[in-house]
């Protein structure tokens, strides 16, 4: 093949990696939001414990099976979700 083919192949590869990273960040946001909402709605401790075991088990499976970029994107997405939706809401503002 030619040099142009190699350049196009490398550019498409880089675009694919960026798209995968962005998709995993969005998936991490959804996973983090779901985990927080399910954790807040359940009042019994054993449901909350099972939810956290499954959540961290999923992270362990991703750590074991995928690339560091995917794990980093997932951690970044869930971390953002925990920061955005994990805060307690204050009903009254103090000045």
Query: Residue 62: CB partners within 8 Å, gap ≥ 6?
Result: 70, 71, 74
Output the CA angle 10-15-17, nearest 5 degrees: 95
pLDDT digits (tens, 9 = 90+) for 52-93: 999 999 989 988 998 888 888 999 999 999 999 887 777 676
Spans of all domains in the chain:
3-84
Quick one: tokens of 81?
A: 């979700």
Q: Burial, 58: exposed, middle or buried (Cβ in 10 Å; 0-12, 13-18, 19+)?
A: middle
pTM for this one? 0.78
Taking residue 3's Cβ as centre, other Cβ atoms within 10 Å add up to: 7
């Amino acid at each position: 093949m030619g040099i142009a083919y190699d350049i196009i192949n490398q550019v498409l590869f880089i675009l694919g990696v960026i798209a995968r990273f962005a998709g995993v960040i969005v998936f991490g946001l959804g996973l983090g939001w779901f985990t927080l909402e399910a954790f807040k709605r359940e009042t019994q401790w054993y449901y909350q414990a099972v939810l956290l075991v499954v959540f961290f088990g999923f992270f362990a499976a991703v750590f074991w099976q995928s690339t560091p970029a995917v794990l980093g994107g997932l951690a970044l997405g869930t971390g953002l979700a925990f920061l955005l939706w994990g805060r307690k809401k204050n009903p009254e503002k103090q000045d």
